[in-house]
Amino acid sequence: MAVREVDRPDPGPRDVLVRPEAIGLCGTDFHIYSGAANYHRDAGGAPIPLERAPQILGHEITGVIEHVGGDVTDLEAGQRVVLDQGLNCISCAREELCEYCETGDSHQCEEFLEHGISGLPGGLAEAISVPAVNAVRIRSELPPERAALTEPLACVLHSADVLARTDARYLIDTSETRRRVRSVLVCGAGPAGLLWVQVLRRVLGFQGRVFVSEPDAEKRALAENFGAETIDPGTAGVVAEVAERTEGRRVELLIDASGSGPLFRDVPGLVRKQATIMLYGHGHAGVGMELLNPVQWAEPTLLSPVGASSGFDEDGRPTVYRRALRMLEDGVIDVEALVTHRYVGLEAVPEAFERGHRESGYVKGVALLG
């Protein structure tokens, strides 16, 4: 990773030019940097190597508008915004929407592209140009490093929406006692897992037991502050611990926020038959597909939502991003405790990728460019 001079973006009449203030550093960024993942694909679906097409990373973006295109009437220079990094039928003003954008699933748009992920330049830069409808105004004094977590919160909210509309055997919100989720296990207490605990408690109103499995003591403490019971997998067998705490019933909902492949060895012993398994984390390296055989025998409902798409507001802006930002502005979701590392200036960012995110006490890093 290196800091280089590149051409300044040239915004079109429907676009805004934004000066990034804060960029959340995501596990997806680290996976791309390490070579474990590459979402920049050619027309045939093959990954384009970074050696051939280097990428400007950063998709959790907040900044200040520097210029608005001639056709933009509802934004102006100097306003603070968070950005939806995805380009879809709505943001590209296509006359006919694809079937995914038409139903609000814009993250699966037929021609979807993402700044900072699939080849388009991301927010780790001095300027980024996006369609104006991808910019959502910040209407408070919310600090930029907290506003930058709008995107990861929006992803969790989208997944929670998918969970809420899925007619599985066990449901979070039901009056039928036999179908009610009594216990949830969140695997991993990184930013995603900690956001999940808060969304379960503060947004979905879940009153049952929330267990979090996490080896790091500081992250376990954060999860407990947000209303979870924690398990240290390094000292307690997670399967035995969950069985004991649920009196042998096990959990009706498991949320994998870790991306750990070996986790699937334990899943059959963690979940009740016909439970719901939310595949939120990504990675799952180092294991074979045969680990899914005993999981399949339990007939779970497997959910694998990605991104933050759940439709658009009347002005064409993404509904879930706006919801997520308002929750941060209103203090419904607390992300201040999640931001443990701040990297000031572009020159400091390589350190975060090379070593910083492995440091003790690291939960979430943010690059401050303002």
The DSSP bridge partners found for residue 129 are 17
333 within a domain of the structure (yes/no): no
Are 135 and 74 within one domain? Answer: yes
94 within a domain of the structure (yes/no): yes
Domain count, the chain: 2
pLDDT digit string, tens, across residues 119-168? 999 999 999 999 999 999 999 999 999 999 999 999 999 999 999 999 99
Are 192 and 97 within one domain? Answer: no
Nearest to 94 by CA among 111, 108, 119, 107: 111
pLDDT digit string, tens, across residues 178-202? 999 999 999 999 999 999 999 999 9
Give the model's pLDDT for residue 99: 96
328 within a domain of the structure (yes/no): no
Q: What is the CATH number of the domain that holds 44?
A: 3.90.180.10
Are 187 and 295 within one domain? Answer: yes
Specify the residue for token string 């296990």: 185
pLDDT digit string, tens, across residues 258-295? 999 999 999 999 999 999 999 999 888 889 999 999 99
324 within a domain of the structure (yes/no): no
Are 264 and 362 within one domain? Answer: no
Please determine, for residue 225, whether its predicted confidence score (pLDDT) is greater than 80. Answer: yes
CA distance 240 to 201: 25
Which residue range is the domain that position 93 belongs to?
A: 15-149+338-368
Tokens of 13: 């009449």
Give the model's pLDDT for residue 282: 86
Are 276 and 346 within one domain? Answer: no
Q: What is the CATH number of the domain that holds 297?
A: 3.40.50.720
Are 41 and 144 within one domain? Answer: yes
Give the model's pLDDT for residue 234: 87
364-368 and 15-25 strand pairing: antiparallel
308 within a domain of the structure (yes/no): no
314 within a domain of the structure (yes/no): no
Are 277 and 363 within one domain? Answer: no
Give the model's pLDDT for residue 309: 78
Give the confidence band of 370 by pLDDT, cuts at 50, 70, 90: confident
pLDDT digit string, tens, across residues 57-93? 999 999 999 999 999 999 999 999 999 999 999 999 9
Give the confidence band of 242 by pLDDT, cuts at 50, 70, 90: very high
